[in-house]
Structure 1
Amino acid sequence: MSRETFVFTSSTLRALRLQREMLELDERRRAASRQSVSRRYQPAPRSLLYLPKPSRRPQYCRDPAVHNALYTGDLPRVRHIFKDETTANLIVETVTEELVWSTELGSTGLWVLSPQKKHTSPLRILAARGYRDCVKHLLLQGAEVDAIVGGKAALHDSCAHHRAECTRLLLSFGANPNMLSEEGLAPLHLCTTQETLPCAQLLLEYGALVNQYTQDRRASPLQVAAKYGLDDHVKLYLCYGANIAHRNREGETALNAACASADSPEEAGRYYRVVKRLLDGGADVQVAGRKNHTPLHNACSNCHIRIVELLLQHGADANVSNCAGYTPMDCALQAVEDYLEGEPEQVIATLLSYGAAPVNPKMLKFCALSPQTLEVILNSYDRILSCDSWVGSVPPEVWQKHQTFYDSALWLVNQPRPLQHLARCAVRKQLGVRCHQGIAQLKLPSSLQDYLRLPLEGYLK
């Protein structure tokens, strides 16, 4: 047991209390002496009852019995152990063995187990686990509500673990809703799940700054909520005046964050709702963030057809380039192999209908595993000049499964396309960026309108 660690026995606690009382008495005597010397400079003598308390020396605890009482929320044991301000503000210390890279045991280095100390507080442990009655007991005993121990305060933990009742209690005892952790995060930045919505509401009601930024990336709570696809949080923050145009250190807005994070098909719906709410709130669809990616670049990289359509409907540029010179179409093609189940051909067809420039033949190799995507692109050409850029990339099993399509593509190389197809290309070219809405306005039979939209047929003609 370390020099600053003690076992919780009745004699130890009595000794601690006695030592504190002696320190307080000595400090009062010194203060009284200073007052008598400088009394003429003071408007009136101060009562000894209002003198500042001496700073406490931090006390550390490794006692397993204490740890067990805290982690299980054993209220009777907590009341028995934490009886005053000194014990309520203990620092709980744990030592764990962690793998670290060391060069002390060899010239090349080795992974070794090294003891690592971690510190927290009783208040943090209880707040993170939602033991409200235990938290209240510690606060009544004088636990410092805003104490930063181990990098965070208790309010950070209660919000991160969606303990709304503990959050309410801490705030009612004066916890600072804008307190920053050692990592530069306010409690509102730690509300990253749908379950934390009540905590976010409480923080704002108690004065949390809705536009407070993290210290490292200068991300706002709105950007954090957008990144995690939290539609209700986004709505809440906007109601409290969140700055929808704020850009973090990398130049990204909340809209950029939402489109970049929508990379999982099963979470597509909630990110779509976030993007729609941001756009309805006036988010700029053209703002480019990291690597000069616009929201459309990000949505195309994630093959999110509904977000792609939504961004294009709000005026996104289908031909803007990022810092590498890639357009949204290029990003969509590079994502084809990762999202074969997401029907990437729909993203390609949508971009073409909103005026995307013809696809560079060198990019067709990315369609090797998706003949449907390749069919849409080849049907956007008025002729097929060569297949050399992609034919060697098609796996034999894919070729065999879709042989009819590939044979038709090879047969049409340097061959004239049918007049019907040439007319389709001419109409689409004439409509340009209005192709998506112009086709429906043409006085043509529905079958011809469908033909103009580049439907999949499984072969080329």
Structure 2
Amino acid sequence: MSKDTFVFTSSTLRSLRLQREMLEWEDRRRAASRQYASRRYQLASRSPLSLPRPSRRIQYCRDPAVHNALYTGDVPRVQSIFKDETTADVIVETISEELVWSAEMGLWVLTPQKKHTSPLSITAARGYRDCVKHLLLQGAQVDAMVGGRAALHESCASHRAECTRLLLGYGANPNIFSEEGLAPLHLCTTQETLPCAQLLLEYGALVNQHTRDHRASPLHVAAKHGLDDHVKLYLCYGANVAHRNREGETALNAACASADRPEDAGRYYQVAKRLLDAGADVRIAGRKNHTPLHNACSNCHLRLVELLLQHGAEVNVSNCAGYTPMDCALQAVEDYLEGEPERVAVALLDHGAAPVNPKMLKFCASSPRVMEVVLNSYDRVLSCDSWVGSVPPEVWRKHQRFYDSVLRLVNQPRPLQHLTRCAVRKQLGTRCHLGVAELKLPSSLKDYLRLPLEGCLK
């Protein structure tokens, strides 16, 4: 058997047969519809009040040869096939098998699903500029909405700048909405789409136009994807940093919430810095009353946390669940053990974060470094019953010296040196991060006030 052939199973043959029957049924339905429309038109034409001649009939194409010419950008073939306005606006129809839940059968079944698009959208999405130009010259409707999107949506989403320029030059609407309620600017979600975003704005795209459902602006979209160049561009065109989406989030909220991968930390830091420099309000809470600081702490993003604190973020504000930014940071410890979560805790404490509710200690039980920082913010070690059972045995064995030191100090007085540290830090309050450096003390004592890690409690 040739390597280019394969055996058709019974289910495959059945699927092909069903698909063929569906196509034949669809052809018969369309033929009947055309015949009915033709009869109505003939009757109307005999009446004194005859109706105007209808617009040209929509044609569908399922020819694989035509599809292949479009998807491969075969210019000679495209020129030979699409010779007039009627063929240029043909609807390209494909059928693919998709899993659909059948309530009657109680299982997932493969069902043929039709997908519609246009020759202009296909070629624009793939960057076939010559094909796009030929179709436009033949009269293809530049803003035709087929399959939920116009050609301009496809060219921008696929970062095809030359096709985007061509479509806009032929009058494409830069603010056209897709069926999903998205303008082309909302589809510029990667760094490669920057030239498309620039072209859209040059041709009149509205920089503050929001999506239909979520009311997200292009600035929200760029911030969510960590696109600093896009953010800079939109701000230059007058983007509103105070605009809030349907959930009440600003672009700054979106950036801080999306910075959940350590490898992307730098990009989101730059976006947040640019937004703050443009006047973004660090205190605005969005979804579930999460402030940007709540989101940054949930992602254990140290530089972002420090940036927000420098711009006046409130460390003791609670979200709708009653959690402070410190609580969010502790809940994220297990997911970011390699991200130095103890430094996030120190930064919050240095800006006046209140002592942690003992019930939250179970979330950082597997990180001795975070646990040491948090416990040193108390003037005594409270009962360990709420968290000691959450320490994995292997972690306990590896850091037994630390955990044993904690157990020895439960409800015992801490040394006078530690009590003095607690008193000084409490007095400095939200200025602790600046005040320690101003104290006229030896450098060793200043370091002690900054809650250094020692590997055990004393």
Q: Provide the TM-score with structure 2 as the length reference.
A: 0.89
CA contact (8 A) 1:355 1:433 kept: yes
Question: C-alpha separation between the residues in 2 aligned to 1:385 and 1:398?
Answer: 21
Q: Displacement, 1:422?
A: 1.4
Question: C-alpha separation between the residues in 2 aligned to 1:117 and 1:458?
Answer: 63
Q: Displacement, 1:104?
A: 2.2
Question: C-alpha separation between the residues in 2 aligned to 1:68 and 1:197?
Answer: 30
- Aligned partner of 1:266 in structure 2 is 263
- Aligned partner of 1:58 in structure 2 is 58
List aligned pairs for 1:392-431, cutoff 5 A: 392-431=389-428
Instruction: Give deviations 1:59-84, integer Å, cap 9, x for gaps.
Output: 00000000000000000100010011
Equivalent residue of 2:209, what SS? coil
List aligned pairs for 1:147-186, cutoff 5 A: 147-186=144-183
Question: C-alpha separation between the residues in 2 aligned to 1:385 and 1:96?
Answer: 63
Change (3 A) 1:5 1:78: farther
List aligned pairs for 1:208-287, cutoff 5 A: 208-287=205-284
Root mean square deviation, CA, Å: 1.9
Structure 2 gap segments, 5+ residues each: 1-22, 29-37
Matched, 1:355 2:368: no
Letter in 2 for 1:309: E
- Aligned partner of 1:319 in structure 2 is 316
Q: Displacement, 1:3?
A: 7.8
Q: Displacement, 1:426?
A: 1.1
Matched, 1:94 2:106: no
Question: C-alpha separation between the residues in 1 aligned to 2:56 and 2:262?
Answer: 54
Quick check: 110-119 or 378-387, which moved more?
378-387
Equivalent residue of 1:96, what SS? strand
Matched, 1:115 2:128: no
CA contact (8 A) 1:213 1:219 kept: yes
Letter in 1 for 2:287: R
Equivalent residue of 2:115, what SS? strand
Instruction: Give deviations 1:233-277, integer Å, cap 9, x for gaps.
Output: 000000000111001111110011001111111101000000000
Question: C-alpha separation between the residues in 2 aligned to 1:451 and 1:53?
Answer: 88
Equivalent residue of 1:119, what SS? strand
Q: Displacement, 1:439?
A: 0.8
- Aligned partner of 1:41 in structure 2 is none
Instruction: Give deviations 1:312-369, integer Å, cap 9, x for gaps.
Output: 1100000001111111111111111111111111111110000000111111111121
Question: C-alpha separation between the residues in 1 aligned to 2:156 and 2:441?
Answer: 58
Question: C-alpha separation between the residues in 2 aligned to 1:293 and 1:450?
Answer: 33
Aligned match for 1:125, one of 122, 125, 128: 122
Q: Displacement, 1:414?
A: 2.0
Q: Provide the TM-score with structure 1 as the length reference.
A: 0.88
Matched, 1:84 2:81: no
- Give identity over the alignment, percent: 82
Q: Displacement, 1:4?
A: 7.7
Question: C-alpha separation between the residues in 1 aligned to 2:178 and 2:53?
Answer: 26
Question: C-alpha separation between the residues in 1 aligned to 2:215 and 2:361?
Answer: 39
Equivalent residue of 1:101, what SS? strand
Equivalent residue of 1:99, what SS? strand
Letter in 1 for 2:82: F
Letter in 1 for 2:457: L
